[in-house]
Structure 1
Amino acid sequence: MDFKRIEIIFLIVFSCLNIFLFTSYRQNQHVETTVGTQVTEKTSTKQQMKDNQIIVPKLSTKTYEGYYLASPVTSRTLEQHSSQLYNQRYSFSGDQLQGHFYQPVTGKNRAALLRNLKIVIKNPHQILYGKEYRYSKVFSTANRLVFTQKIAEGDVFDENGELVFSVSNQRITNYQQTYISKFTTLREKEDTISAKQAVQDLYNDNAITNGATIKWARLGYSRLLDANEHTVFIPAWFVAMENKSSGNIQIKHVNAFTGAVMKNSDNNSLATSSK
């Protein structure tokens, strides 16, 4: 095992320790709050959420397995292979490819537009590594069609592994793409928490406002930290909640190993819609 990999693993261990201590502290705070408001210990989290008018759909209690993964912070893979792209102009902003089709992708409705777009994505002279992306309905909006990078371990929900098409009047001309070319497994696989547990952990961390509606929960790989020119990814639950008064949807990330709310919640470029 080389020195860089050992250094990354040590950083992960220290980060996990900090997360554990922080989570324990917040849980102790929650217990004190519960006692202070005279809520008995027998009252379940489910009942507390119901009392606070938080609407939660039926969530799975199934657990999964995941890994600590690392990838280089900087990748020039798209730029190195961009010469094979035809019928478009393109440029780069850092590692992000920004493309403009000479002939727009069109469709008479949303479904037709998506079908035609998927044909384009499969063409390696139109989209690089297009077959390695999966359409994400929950992250897409009326004016954005979002595809997330898929890897052997699952889907990557991160701005460094996404393909986003801009939609205007059922026409697509522009897109942005990032791509993670290589992942290294740092540790043996571990069990994750369930979607139901992730939502309960969010509530216990005071991350769900009263009256909110939980719209969905998805498991994908999210950035944990940057260390020694590498980015470390872990499985995370992405939980979307709708604000009762504004109707806006907010997405929180929960560490699927520890249940801690991740600091990069609400800072990712992936978007969602209340529709």
Structure 2
Amino acid sequence: MDFKRIEWIFFLVFFGVNIFLFSIYREGLQDESNVSYSDRTESLEHRLEKEGIDHKGELSTAQIEGYYLSGERTNFYEEIQQKRIDEGDNSLFRYNTDIIENGIISYPSSNYYVDPKDVETTLSEFLSSSDNVLFGNEYTYLANFSNLTGDFPEVIASQSYEGIAFRDDSAQITFSLEKHETDELFKIAKYTQYHIENLEKLREKSDLYSEHDAVETLYINNKIPSNSTITFSKLAYTCIYQIREKYVYVPVWFIGISSNGTTMQIEQVNAMNNTIITNNTITRVENHS
């Protein structure tokens, strides 16, 4: 037997196998390097584009400031009683208003209409009359959270603090609308109102995470489906804690995402710490002492 020949055969086989394994190793390192490089340097906009995710305009990186706020629910029974005394009219909000827990449901005695082509102006006219709604001048129209289509159209107006609106049931009015029979106007059938008073800053103003930051957080956590559209983003205060009679609010990015042109999901990102809180419930802290 030619042992020298056998040794050379084993050597060549061993050498070939090592070259093959080394080439695989190098390819693996190159792939890992490419992924790391892409993750660190590729812009969010480019990553969204590659997955067919559309968005309107540039995602803002502007630095906005906001607060942790606290407030108390307004007692509408007391407010209505006081308004009757102040105006000497005992019939105010008596026959067309139901006082509910922490709020009211009112049915306007006169016909008021909202023009879908100019909702903000026509709604402001209604809100500006103290005979129609209490604290009306504190509320502004929230277009992104209103709905003028379908069988149950409604419009949302909310309070705000230093230019940032509230997106929370505790500080908003929901107008239930009825389509007018002869034109495109909507009649205000009723509204449900809640109001927050005695708003206080719980600590100094803080820098908030930007719209760009919030969208990126949703993207890397797989909250934005491929081939979807980011239809809107809105920074607003929402309640995260209830401590007895006090409600605590934090600025939150609300991001609207449409997956098929009809279905809308709204994700929420805490603008203070850039964490997703979409499905969080309000934490209630009771003092039993």
Q: Above 0.5 in TM-score?
A: yes
Counterpart residue number, 1:145: 155
* Cα drift, residue 158 of structure 1: 0.7
Structure 1 counterpart of 2:250, one-letter code: I
Instruction: Give 1:192-211 correspondences, 5 Å limit.
Output: 192-211=208-227
* Cα drift, residue 263 of structure 1: 4.2
* 1:11-49 deviations in Å (ceiling 9; x for gaps): xxxxxxxxxxxxxxxxxxxxxxxx9x9670222343333
Larger Rg: 2
Instruction: Give 1:29-48 correspondences, 5 Å limit.
Output: 40-43=35-38, 44=42, 45-48=44-47
Aligned-residue CA RMSD in angstroms?
Answer: 2.6
CA distance in 2, matches of 1:106, 1:233: 33
CA distance in 2, matches of 1:101, 1:226: 32
| Structure 2: runs of 5+ lacking an equivalent | 1-28, 84-91, 180-185, 283-289
Counterpart residue number, 2:48: 49
Q: Report if aligned partners of 1:68, 1:234 keep a CA contact under 8 Å in 2.
A: yes
Number of aligned pairs? Answer: 228
Q: Report if aligned partners of 2:157, 2:172 keep a CA contact under 8 Å in 1.
A: yes
Q: Report if aligned partners of 2:146, 2:154 keep a CA contact under 8 Å in 1.
A: yes
* 1:196-255 deviations in Å (ceiling 9; x for gaps): 1110011112211222110111111112222344221111111111113x6211111111
* Between 82-91 and 201-210, the greater mean CA deviation after superposition: 82-91
- C-alpha change, 1:197 and 1:203, in structure 2 (3 Å) is same
Higher relative contact order (CA 8 A, sep 6+): 1
CA distance in 2, matches of 1:91, 1:127: 13
Q: Report if aligned partners of 1:87, 1:103 keep a CA contact under 8 Å in 2.
A: no
Identity of matched residues, %: 23
Instruction: Give 1:151-230 correspondences, 5 Å limit.
Output: 151-152=161-162, 154-169=164-179, 170-230=186-246
Instruction: Give 1:55-70 correspondences, 5 Å limit.
Output: 55-57=54-56, 58-70=58-70
Structure 1 counterpart of 2:273, one-letter code: T
| Structure 1: runs of 5+ lacking an equivalent | 1-34, 268-275
Q: Report if aligned partners of 1:198, 1:254 keep a CA contact under 8 Å in 2.
A: yes
- C-alpha change, 1:221 and 1:233, in structure 2 (3 Å) is same
CA distance in 2, matches of 1:46, 1:206: 15
* 1:104-154 deviations in Å (ceiling 9; x for gaps): 2136x4246754442221111210000000111111111111111122362
- Which stretches of structure 1, 4 residues or more, deviate above 4 A after TM superposition? 263-267
Counterpart residue number, 2:248: 232
Counterpart residue number, 2:80: 82
CA distance in 2, matches of 1:112, 1:259: 34
- C-alpha change, 1:178 and 1:228, in structure 2 (3 Å) is closer
CA distance in 2, matches of 1:186, 1:113: 34
CA distance in 2, matches of 1:199, 1:254: 9
CA distance in 2, matches of 1:185, 1:113: 32
Q: Report if aligned partners of 2:269, 2:278 keep a CA contact under 8 Å in 1.
A: no
Structure 2 counterpart of 1:62, one-letter code: A
Structure 2 counterpart of 1:99, one-letter code: S
Counterpart residue number, 1:252: 267
CA distance in 1, matches of 2:246, 2:219: 32
Structure 1 counterpart of 2:231, one-letter code: K
